[in-house]
């Protein structure tokens, strides 16, 4: 079985990579959103000067970095964070809900391809499982 530290450090690394991709869209602009599968509606919004997609990317990227900090702290590499284990369960729940409920979310975020939804849902599902496993292992130690 994977150790708690490895599980949580892997979750943190994946969160940091995902955050970096979200932040990269701020620099890459429309082509970055298109490359990452954000859909033509987001691409068109950026091309027309709308900052909404940038704000969303900034919020999601920042949230992912906070989650990474929690995972690193829970792995013992940073000082303990408030409500560490419950927050890890909450993060896991958010990620697993996003992964499993994508068919219900698709109509509210039109324009993203089915390929985007499947790949992103698999990615957040794996990440959610890593956070869940790490939180469960915290109770064992």
Q: How many CB atoms lie within 10 A of CB 21?
A: 17
Domain count, the chain: 1
Alpha helices (H) along 40-113: 40-47, 52-74, 84-100, 102-105
Question: What's the pLDDT tens digit per position in 12-31?
Answer: 999 999 999 999 999 999 99
Question: The tokens of 97 are what?
Answer: 């809900």
Domain, as residue range, for 31: 4-140
Question: What's the pLDDT tens digit per position in 80-136?
Answer: 999 999 999 999 999 999 999 999 999 888 788 888 899 999 999 999 999 999 999
């Amino acid at each position: 079985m994977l150790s708690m530290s490895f599980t949580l450090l892997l979750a943190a690394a994946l969160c940091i990579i995902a955050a970096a991709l979200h932040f990269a869209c701020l620099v890459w602009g429309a082509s970055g959103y298109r490359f990452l599968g954000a859909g033509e509606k987001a691409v068109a919004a950026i091309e027309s000067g709308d900052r909404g997609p940038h704000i969303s990317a900034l919020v999601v990227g920042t949230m992912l970095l906070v989650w990474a900090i929690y995972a690193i702290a829970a792995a013992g590499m940073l000082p303990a964070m408030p409500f560490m284990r419950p927050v890890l369960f909450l993060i896991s729940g958010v990620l697993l809900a996003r992964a499993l409920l994508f068919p219900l979310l698709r109509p509210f975020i039109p324009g993203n391809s089915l390929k985007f939804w499947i790949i992103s849902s698999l990615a957040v599902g794996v990440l959610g499982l890593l956070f869940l496993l790490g939180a469960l292992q915290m109770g064992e130690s």
